[in-house]
Chain A
Amino acid sequence: MASNIPSTIGEFSVLPVSIPPLPSFPKNVVHYLYVRRHAPKIPTPTDSRSLFVTNVPVDSTEAHLRALVTSLVGTGRFEKVTFEDESKQEHSLEGKSIIDAAQPVHAARLLQAHIKKRKRDDEEAQEEAAARLPSTWTRPLRRSGSTAVVLLADEKSVEQVLKAIAKVHKTKKYPVWGGDGLPDSKMPPLGPVWLKSHNRLSFPDPSMLQASVDAFSTLFARREQEAAEIAKRLRNEPDEDGFVTVTRGGRNAPASRTEAEEAKRRMLEKENKKKEELANFYRFQLRERKKAEAAELLKRFDEDRKKLEELRAKKGKFVPEA
């Protein structure tokens, strides 16, 4: 059966991986990965020594892929792997640190425009790391059918891996998933332990949690301060064209959102009341209203009729149940 599997689909090489049987599902199964040279739309310096892999198994880890590459072309070729969801996660914060992402829009805009490529020093990076919440998982899963980019040692390795994949089809010796060369102890197990750990990790040590929250708020406050300072500076400094940028905050304390919304609501209410008072004031209004009502009645009658027509289309709707 498996012998008829095409070895390439378009630019992709098909890499069959044999999955060892498990007690709950005692079957030899083959999983297929699809591999090609990495060629993203926006090139990066490491493209030439990267492989683009799709349909990675859901339980993939770096160790798994390292073992896979090792079994294909031997040790020392694998450098690292970036999974799709990891790169996405970075993307979701738009490459900013969590603290920057946390800033209100206006502050973020200011910070971005007026701090020239701030170099993050180690200290701040450390603080940011401390502000992150602990993960509740010992090991992440990958979305089914998702992709990864494998970075190899050099360009030659890429070539070799692809060749090795082609060879696999001839020899029918498929590499084994999670097989040899995968140090067991290194990888947190899945299954009950994984589930149980999740439940436990959901309750982190309160002091640690407190520290994390504290770190966050310190950083957040600092960044806020910076933004405020920039805003203040901008208020006083005309730019090169002689304009003064309008920024939030001024002489008066900024109105809070809730107050603003309350005021807006009150204004609307006032307007509505005014409108209501003037309704039915003139004779023509009355006439028009009645006209509108009559039209509405007609419209609804038509609607009902149309609806009935629809119901009639669904047979048996009007016959009493037997």
Chain B
Amino acid sequence: MDAAPAKRRKIAHPDGNASIALEAAQAAATGVSRARAFVLETEEMLDSVDLDYSEAFDGADALLHRLKGSIETIPAHDAQPLLDAAAKLEKKHKLKVPFPSPPPPQNSNYKVSFATPAQFNVVGSYVAKTMVRTQSAHGIDMIVVLPESILQEKDYLDLRYFYKRAYYLAVVAAHLQKDLKGEATLSYEYHNGNSLLPVLSVKPNGEKDEDEKKKKKGVLDYRIRIIPCAPESFFPRQKLHLGAGLVRKHKEGEQQANGQPATPATPFYNSTLVAESSYLQYLKLLRQTEKKCAAFRNACILGRIWLQQRGFGSDVSKGGFGYFEWAVLLALLLQGGPADTKGAAPLSPSLSSTQLFKALIQFLSVTNFAEKPCVLGQAKPDLAGFIENGPILWDSARQLNIAFKMGPWSADLLHQHARWTRKLLADGAVDQFQPTFILKADLPTHTYDLVARMDPEKVSEAAPDKVAHEARGRHWQVGHKVYRILRRALSDKNMEGGERARLIHLKVSPGFSSSSWSLNEKPQPQKAGTPIEIGVLFDPLNMARTVDRGPSAGPSAEEKETCEKFRRFWGEKSELRRFGGDTIRETLVWSAQTPFDLCEEIMRYILGLHLRVGQLQDDIVFYGRSLPALLSIKPSDTALFNVARKTFTSFERDLRDLEDLPLRIRHVNPICPELRHSSLKTPSFGPSKSGPRPMEVVISFEASGKWPESLIAIQRTKIAFLLMIGRLLERFKPGEIRTHVGLDDARYETENLAFLDVIYASGACFRVRIQADLEESLLERQTKDKTTEQYLRQRASTQLASFRRTFVHLPLHTQYITTATTRFPALSPTIRLVKHWFSVHKLSNHFPPELLELFVLHTFLAPYPWDVPSSPTTGFLRTLLFLARWDWRTDPLIIDTSLNGELPAQERQAIATRLDAWRKLDPGMQHTVLFVATAHEQSGTMWTSVDGHPRPSKVVAARMTALAKSAARVIREQGVDLDVRRLFVPSLKEYDVLLYLNTKVLKSALRTYITVDPATEMNGGKGQEIKFKNLAPETVEPPLPVAQHPVDVLLKQLSAVYDSAAGASGTGPLVFFRSDTTATEEGDKVIGAVWNPTLVKRKWRVNLPTSYKPVAGGKDESEDEDEDEDEDGSEREKEREGEGRVEVEVNREGILAEVARIAGEVVERIEVKGL
């Protein structure tokens, strides 16, 4: 990597240690800081998952020897007819011979015998020492090679070998059962879920002595698997090639029915046979590679973890690609590689484990075994014809399809996961380690946009498929068919516009219910009605397509043929339509609206057509739709947002058309959620009872030297400007535009004082504020002015922050989010769902909407370990997952909003350092809690603090995390069965105080008129209304826009009253929780509040932060009373003491009474849980 090692020596520090460290640093680093961190973290993980074998498998070696010795003593016996021998064995030892299905036919006349095994060997991850602490079960594989004497070459036909193997196993089991009585528990299980291969599992019984058990804490709950297998290369490989059909006899009945003598190919059976006789070859291969390549072992462990976190395993039901397949693939790549590389090994044995891991991920991300056979080794067999049957990963040296246990869907999924991980590993900026190894990525609800469950029993038609699915059960057969149909329907690349689904995945349950069963039983058949689980990952744009344009109907034979094919597949749905440019095409028209419903409609139609299933609702159940429905998010919402944008554009034009403005307008920027597709409620423009809802915008004028050099004067000048703009607009479009200048609730004269509401007759309403550039530089100067007092500088800096937020960052943010919503179609509904969640849990008043948008944006920009969410449901669930995992105490949230997504590493580093500095400065998190930085805004506190106080405060942020954690737990536990409405049920239990609002009063408080005095209206309103009933509708003009929602005003005032004393918000005696006022028409009825736990009993002093009362019956009581009787003017010292001694506590009732007085009739009732 380093081009000039000689130079390096010169550069390096003279003293030796440093240069060694430098070499180490350079060895670990491939330039970027992230990669180095990845290496370090990976090593750390390897250390922590590593097992101490002598401790963890205490006694395993002894047991293995014992087993070997015991098996060797089994007496051999001569050939006996299979069924007789089996029956005798079963009777004598009270166990069952685990014959694969179908059991041997009654007329089978070949004989079985028993002889001492030809060879014993321990294989797999125990010898390679590649097990990890976190894997679900630890097993030691011991193979027992059947002696050639008891086998015949022809045994490869018709399951004969497997029957003999089962008998052999049963004999061993019978003997061990007797021999190991009490020492170990024996049971059967299927090897890798392959029902052809029962194996014997030996689980040592725990130590009887309790004390001893305690001592050996590190001992794992392991088991030893005894795996009978065929002698090396016993069966002729050429007979076992992928196309051969080797299972004939038992299908006689069907053959007659079909009248076809040809036997279907049995690739799975064949590959199983090959694998049976290759154990030792692979053992050798792996040992050799291990010797040659030092990092091989660790690379295998990394692969094991990576696969495990994605739900992959060697088991057929886990996708059929596990540790063994990973290790073999890696070993082959270190040896020979694919045929087209001319035999040169693609990977060098001198690579490090992380490099090997990355290389293999890269390999998997460019190779999809399900689409094209992948051949490793010198030979170039023609396998393309067999790809139909399943994925092919061909080891030509051993002539085995390593991927034989995989379904095409699992190969596809593996390919996708590799692609996502590769993308992650290429993204130098984000944390690569966590998503790669730590996070669990196999949650179907988070991975797929749509999950459906289909009952395979309902598939009426059972005609044998062309593809054989021997030994994998009927479910597999149905699943394979479903997959092929869906793939053609949803991922048709020839369809104009492209494929609808990026991934279709199936989860087919194996044909038996439990993984192991006791010796005297038969394997438990699967419970009826176990469904096939179908997961679909959308391409969000294409899935929303309602019209599919197929092949064009032309005159040529070729075109006719494709059309015919199309029609045959789609049935009646296909119709001819004429499109622009005079093309006539086969067309499919769907009626559903949302991507989800469209996918469901297509799936129901096509599965119904081909498999006659799905007509009944129960046959296929779809999961994942209810979430957007909850908010009634519709595709038409986008149109509403676009209308809002359009009204804004026309408003901007009106503004720019004003001629008499003294300064020219430079920008008009929207800054509100309605104008960036992310408000909870869609913007509405109709007449509404409670006045129009204004959308906020800011205007900046061309630079001018005429602004006064004084903040106060600037604010006044802005008012004059607003008044002028209002007048001009009204004159410009009389009757169509009404304007009102409103006053902001400013605390200081130097803050922004006023805004202009512009109301169009159409119902659109804008709230305009003016940006004066000079304001920023004046504030900046004030913050740096050392001659002024500290508190003034402090104030200037909070004002500067709020200036920048309103006039600089909000416009940028709005622009960015708007672009992002077009880039990610699922972003806008996801943001709205997340906002809804925060609102339901009454967190809205603590989280600025921009912050929530950034949370969601993060899940879209750094979606690892998955890809960008393509539906609101996955987006929402992943955002919750992120919030549950985010440790905001130590981790900054960095959102890379730069254009090309390349925030420099130094800047990221700087952001992290800034957070560290904050935490050191303010460990109690009084001033900074959440730390969220974007590329545009790197201070990290722009969106998480308001007026110098953290928003949310620590208490509230902790509550958010707790809520997200419990939601994530429920989601994980319940999986697809989860009723998502449960996530949106607020719990009122945790609040100490509940304020029940009077909606009637609130509604009337929402309506204010310029001509009516509220006091008289509210007091004598009723009488007047009746008096002038005839006049009411005509004379009363439309209501004023609401300056602020009354509940907002109330809470703001309450927080001003109770919070400001202690400084930060949320530090007052009561912390209020409220939902978004715009969420529903009348808003939430209940405000929750909790007592601040940090305000406890304390010594009395003059400046208490809130209303306190003396503690009654304290120790000093009697003394105090004595003093009273003495006289007022007792000695000073004593008094001083008294001042320090008397304890006071928060006067909670007093505070509630104050709240009740302030709120008046707005609050119907205050419910107190605990004082």
Contacts and interface: CB of A to CB of B under 8 A. Distances in A.
A59 B1157 contact: yes
B134 interface: yes
Contacts of B1058: 143-144
B76 interface: no
Nearest to A92: B748
In this complex, the member of B11, B26, B1103, B1156 whose beta carbon has the largest number of chain A beta carbons within 10 angstroms is B1156
B910 to A, nearest CB: 13
Interface stretch (A4-12, A113-121, A148-156): A4-12
Given A192-B1161, A202-B1043, A256-B705, A6 B48 contact: no
Nearest to A146: B1061
Interface stretch (A17-25, A236-244, A268-276): A17-25
B12 A294 contact: yes
A144 B1058 CA distance: 5
A98 B1159 CA distance: 33
B1049 A198 contact: yes
B1139 A10 contact: yes
Interface stretch (B140-148, B366-374, B712-720): B712-720
Contact of A4 (B717, B757, B1112, B1152): B1112
Given A11-B1135, A318-B438, A192 B1057 contact: no
Interface stretch (B39-47, B324-332, B829-837, B984-992): B39-47
Contact of B1128 (A133, A166, A200, A201): A166
Contacts of A294: 11-13, 22
Q: Is the interface of B mostly helix, strand, loop or mixed?
A: helix
Contacts of B33: 300, 304
Nearest to B1000: A192
A220 B145 CA distance: 103
B726 A206 contact: yes
A19 B753 contact: no
In this complex, the member of A8, A311, A317 whose beta carbon has the largest number of chain B beta carbons within 10 angstroms is A8
Contact of A141 (B773, B1056, B1113, B1117): B1056
A188 B438 CA distance: 62
Interface string A9-37: 11110100001001011010111100000
Given A24-B1164, A145-B1105, A320-B437, A190 B1158 contact: yes
A203 interface: yes
Contact of B1057 (A11, A143, A307, A318): A143
A311 B887 CA distance: 12
B630 to A, nearest CB: 28
A301 B308 contact: no
B742 A102 contact: no
A321 interface: yes
B40 A196 contact: no
B383 interface: no
B743 A29 contact: no
Interface string A103-146: 11000000000000000000000000000011010100111111
Interface string B1113-1153: 11011001101100010000001101100100001011111
A222 B823 CA distance: 55
Contact of A136 (B745, B1042, B1068, B1165): B745
Interface string A296-322: 011011001101100110100111111
Given A145-B1105, A213-B719, A319-B49, A195 B1049 contact: yes
A32 B1148 CA distance: 12
A305 B1008 CA distance: 63
Contacts of A24: 1156, 1159, 1161, 1163-1166
B1156 A145 contact: no
A277 interface: no
B713 A102 contact: yes
Contact of B1160 (A145, A147, A192): A192
Interface string A203-247: 110100110010011001000100000000000000000000000
Contacts of A134: 743
A25 B1148 CA distance: 12
Given A59-B1157, A213-B720, A305-B40, A30 B1150 contact: yes
B634 to A, nearest CB: 32
B547 interface: no
Contact of B712 (A98, A200, A298, A312): A98
Nearest to B1152: A25
Contacts of B1001: 192
B723 interface: yes
Contacts, number: 331
A195 B1005 contact: yes
Contacts of A45: none
A44 interface: no
Interface string B309-327: 1000000000000000000
A133 B743 contact: yes
B1162 A209 contact: no
Contacts of B1008: 196, 199-200
B547 to A, nearest CB: 43
B1166 A25 contact: yes
Interface stretch (B220-228, B344-352, B1010-1018): B1010-1018
A143 B1060 contact: yes
A18 B823 CA distance: 62
Nearest to A32: B1109
A190 B1046 CA distance: 12
Contacts of B1044: 199, 202
B616 interface: no
A171 interface: no
Interface string B261-299: 000000000000000000000000000000000000000
Interface string B1057-1088: 11011000000110000000000000000000
B1100 A301 contact: no
B1042 A199 contact: yes
B336 to A, nearest CB: 31
A197 interface: yes
B763 interface: no
Interface string A255-282: 0111101000000000000000000000
A12 B908 CA distance: 55
Contacts of A290: 11
A76 B820 CA distance: 69
Interface string B8-25: 000111000010011011
Nearest to B691: A199
A24 to B, nearest CB: 5
B891 to A, nearest CB: 11
Contacts of B709: 104, 257
10 contacts: A6-B1117, A6-B1121, A31-B1150, A101-B712, A143-B1058, A147-B1102, A200-B1040, A206-B740, A256-B705, A312-B44
Given A6-B1117, A58-B1057, 11 more contacts: A1-B1113, A10-B1135, A136-B745, A141-B1057, A198-B1043, A203-B757, A220-B710, A258-B773, A261-B777, A287-B11, A297-B26
Q: Which 9 A-B pairs have the closest CB atoms?
A: A191-B1160, A10-B1139, A102-B712, A202-B1043, A256-B705, A301-B25, A25-B1156, A6-B1120, A196-B1014
Interface of B: 11-13, 18, 21-22, 24-26, 28-29, 33, 36-37, 40-41, 44-45, 47-49, 132-134, 305, 308-309, 437-440, 703, 705, 708-713, 716-717, 719-720, 723, 726, 740-743, 745, 748-749, 753-754, 757, 773-774, 777, 890, 1001-1002, 1004-1005, 1008-1010, 1013-1015, 1017-1019, 1040, 1042-1044, 1046, 1049-1050, 1053, 1056-1058, 1060-1061, 1068-1069, 1100, 1102-1110, 1112-1114, 1116-1117, 1120-1121, 1123-1124, 1128, 1135-1136, 1138-1139, 1142, 1147, 1149-1166
Interface of A: 1-12, 14, 19, 22, 24-25, 27, 29-32, 54-55, 57-59, 92-93, 98, 101-104, 133-134, 136, 138, 141-147, 162, 166, 169, 188-204, 206, 209-210, 213, 216-217, 220, 224, 256-259, 261, 287, 290-291, 294, 297-298, 300-301, 304-305, 307-308, 311-312, 314, 317-322
